[in-house]
Structure 1
Amino acid sequence: MMSNALKTALWLAAASGLCQAAAAAVIDVPAGSDLQQAVARARAGDTLRLAAGLYRGKLVIDKPLNIEGPPARTAKIEGDRSGRTIEVTAPDVGLSRLTITRSGLSLPAMDAGVFLSQSAERARVLHNDILENSVGVYIHGAAGALVKSNRIVGDTKLRVNERGNGVTVWNAPGAEVSDNDISEGRDGIFSNTSTKNIYKNNRFTRLRYAVHYMYTNDSEVSGNVSDGNNIGYAIMFSERLKIRNNIAANSRDQGLMLNYANHSDISGNVVDKAEKCVFIYNANYNTISGNHFENCGMGIHFTAAAEGNRIFNNAFIRNQSQVKYVGTRHIEWSDGEENGRGNYWSDNSAFDLDGDGIADTAYRPNGIIDQIVWRAPVARLLMNSPAVSIVKWAQSQFPAILPGGVADSKPLMRPPKNPTLQQYRQHKEPQ
């Protein structure tokens, strides 16, 4: 039986919650008001509804509140170029439809347009313009935070290495960053020492890295678009990831880079135009399948004793060199099953006499000539010479003279279907 004292305590707690809910109010705030005073006067759960106009000064939010502006984002909160324009220290705070600008520019001090501290659990930063700050949104330990549907633009007056990231995530389990448009910063999303995060459906332009991943495990990067950045997705020192259905177009260096990224699923991605479509450096026990790699100087650069990777059902199309494998072992790039599949190689002149969709002979991209071209790129001028033709013929007749490298024993006759590729082609602007 429940004691009378316990019943009374539960009734008081419920009554207190009902009173707080009943007391929550929507408070209209005129343009030019002192927002810090408005926050001080508000009660937990209130909504401050800002009128269009300018609100000068930095703001600390230390209680659960919602602060929202007009749909056109014409309520502008402007910092004084020092510190954090908005700092959130309470849980369950919402910021929406605002323009937030002019934070300080100190990267060591973690200056930001919006700073979510460790106590800002479940913060919501939605539908804002976050412009000309150091870091746009800094999620510093705020578990369960959501940053969604914002336009985040860095300060173009600074050099790239002086700018902050669009969104920085540090040790924020369960945080999600989705549907944002991020440009003109250092990295689009920089994720460090975190877990169980979701970064999806964002668009990244004019950045160093679209997504820069360090020590972030059990997480997802999916449905993002990187266009015109140095590197699309730099995935490093992380495990058990889902890197799916992303696009990297017009990357200066690499579309996708895996550096000690292990036990992960990399599937359904599209890389179009980069120096290297994919760079794999000591990344182990990953499944790399269903991806489309096209128009790169090098399709895939595979090095540093990467082991245990399954690489099959991908398309390598019109890359100047399809594979650079740095090693002496023989490795197989098909899934190894009896009815398994390898990859599609656009330069593989092969026959399929039985019509099963699998070429009748293995594809080996790492012959002697390939290795000569890696070491002396000018040797490409001799690719159609009789001497090179004789060497290629000799390799085909006497496989024992082939150096160690990649073999695809079940190369595909047609590129596999890739829904992300269809999406990319439908939305691709004319070149």
Structure 2
Amino acid sequence: MKTRVRHLASLVATTFMSFMIVVATGLLCAWAGLVLASPAASAATRLVAPGPDALRRAIAAAAPGDRLELQSGTFHGPVVVDKPLTLEGENDSVIDGGGKGRVITISAPHVTVRGVTIINSGIRLDIEDAGIYVLATANDALIENNRFRHNLTGVFLKGPKAAVVRNNDVVGRKDLRMNERGNAFHIWNSPGSVIENNTVRYGRDGIFVTTSKDNIFRGNTFRDLRFAVHYMYTNASEVSHNLSTGNHIGYAIMFSQNLKIEDNVSRDDRDRAFLFNYANYSLVDGNFADGGAKKCVFIYNANHNVFRDNIFSGCTIGIHFTAGSEDNEMVGNAFINNRTQVKYVGTRHLEWSVAGRGNYWSDNLAFDLDGDHIADRPYHPNDMIDKVMWRHPLAKLLLNSPAVQVLRWAQSEFPSLRPGGVVDSAPLMSPPKRRQYKGARS
């Protein structure tokens, strides 16, 4: 009896193992068939020689996943990339749009455009002419190491998810009036997209983004533009380690919330280094403005933000704060050699220190007798006379008059005479250390 039981158990085990081997073999064959049938497995590299219609023919003949290697010379656009492909050029591979429409339109996902020079788009803003135009169906586009010249807009992201635009060099139009030019990078509803390590000169705005979320703009360099970064209705995103120089405005952050504005540099921008308009619940940390802008920072109806460890230097006005902006935390910032450190148009009393730590003011002739690196007396950046001058500019003629000097003396001796405004109860004796700029290009 025991022998028959052992024989039956052995037979069952052998049958089960044979069944598992058959199943595993079938699964392996099916997986191998999928791999062999996938575009990646069958991808080919195709050399494409220049010619009037060569690139269009090559795209039509290519299989999904193919790499089109563009040889030296000029290829003619416009072209549409409607399948997953890589377009990669040599140092002097040029795609010329001929001044009409969009040079390259990408309508398929997983398309890469790398290492080419893209020139001569059309100049119509109403139909969104651009060097590269990426449609909403073209998720995960990668646009890198290209050169853009004489295009209306460099790269236009019209709705794709998770596009990456990096290491490109964009020179925009100078032959058009500024409001007729396009932007280097124009982003609309492109969640998760990244614009990084690009250089931009001329055109209208460096980055214009609207109605998007979860974007990262970092390590870019912007010169000779209207706005370096123009930010509208875009939430939960990051602007970091960018350099703006010689633009009308550096960073214009508007109608957005839950942002991280970190370690950016504004140098020699003309009107505003940083502008916050209806920007809420954001962290503004470690930024640096220098070089004579009219206003280092302009805050208009922006609420519940944290301004921390920024340096605002050499501007006509260090920070202009107005229009009901409330509950903004100001701590650890440095206001250095601004003609007017703070212009606050309002009557409320605003405390600019947190937990016994305030900000550094270069014009605060203070003492620190207990050696705790905090000044012994509070600092008031504005007084009654400042407010009179803002409201009545002609009163500046009386600025050095005996009457004005008496009013200032009385206010210093009787603090109850001070109007509402900013007070820093724990001013710092030294500024925060300026952080290292980490952008790709300076």
TM-score by shorter chain over 0.5? yes
**Are 2:365 and 1:358 equivalent residues in the alignment?**
no
Give 2:233's aligned residue.
215
The residue number in structure 2 matching 1:38 is 58
Range moving further from structure 2, 223-232 or 77-86: 77-86
Are positions 1:17 and 2:35 aligned together? yes
Matches within 5 A, 1:121-200: 121-200=139-218
**Residues 264-302 of structure 1 deviation map (CA, whole Å, 9 limit, x = unaligned):** 000100111200000001111000010000111111110
2:72 matches 1:52? yes
Residues 373, 7 of structure 1: CA spacing in aligned structure 2 closer, same or farther, 3 A cutoff? farther
1:81 to 99, 105, 123: 99
Q: List aligned pairs for 1:290-329, cutoff 5 A.
A: 290-329=309-348
Match of 1:372 among 388, 395, 399: 388
Residue 333 (str. 1) matches residue 352 (str. 2): yes
Query: Match for 1:107 among 93, 103, 125?
Result: 125
Alignment of 1:236-251 (within 5 A): 236-251=254-269
Distance 1:230 1:37 in 2: 44
Shift of 1:416: 1.3
- Is 1:403 aligned with 2:419? yes
What whole-Å deviation, never above 9, does each CA across 1:228-258 have from its counterpart, x for those lacking one? 1111000001010000000011111100000
What is the rounded CA distance, in whole Å, between the counterparts of 2:191 and 2:157 in structure 1? Answer: 10
Which residue type is aligned with residue 153 of structure 1?
Answer: V
Paired residues, what number? Answer: 419
- AA matched with 2:370: D
Let me know the Cα RMSD of the aligned residues.
2.1
Shift of 1:106: 1.1
Q: Secondary structure at the match of 2:368?
A: coil
- Of stretches 6-15 and 55-64 in structure 1, the one that deviates more from structure 2 is 6-15
1:93 to 102, 111, 128: 111
Q: What is the aligned partner in structure 1 of residue 46 from structure 2?
A: 27
SS of the residue corresponding to residue 274 of structure 1 reads coil
TM-superposed CA distance for 1:137, in Å, is 0.1
Instruction: Select between 51-60 and 210-219 the one with higher mean Cα deviation.
Output: 51-60
Deviates more, 1:350-359 or 1:59-68: 350-359
Out of 200-209 and 344-353, give the one that drifted further: 344-353
Q: CA 1:7/1:332 → structure 2, altered by over 3 Å: closer, same or farther? A: farther
Q: Percent identity?
A: 50
* 1:419 partnered with 2:435: yes
TM-score normalised to structure 1 length: 0.93
Q: Distance in 1 between matches of 2:361 and 2:396?
A: 19
Q: What is the alpha-carbon distance in structure 2 between the residues aligned to residue 286 and residue 149 of structure 1?
A: 31
Q: 2:77·2:104 contact (CA, 8 Å) conserved in 1?
A: no
d(CA) in 1 for partners of 2:408 and 2:110?
Answer: 66
Distance 2:268 2:397 in 1: 26
**What residue identity is the alignment partner of 2:166?**
K
- CA apart distance, 1:31: 2.0
TM-score of the two chains, using structure 2 as the length reference:
0.90
CA distance in 2, matches of 1:382, 1:326: 21
Q: 1:391 to 1:36 in 2, by over 3 A?
A: same
Q: Which sections of structure 1, spanning at least 5 residues, go unmatched?
A: none
Whether contact under 8 Å (1:129, 1:150) holds in the other structure is yes
Which has the larger displacement, 373-382 or 347-356? 373-382
Give distance in 1, aligned partners of 2:25 and 2:203.
56
Tell me what 1:119 maps to.
Answer: 137
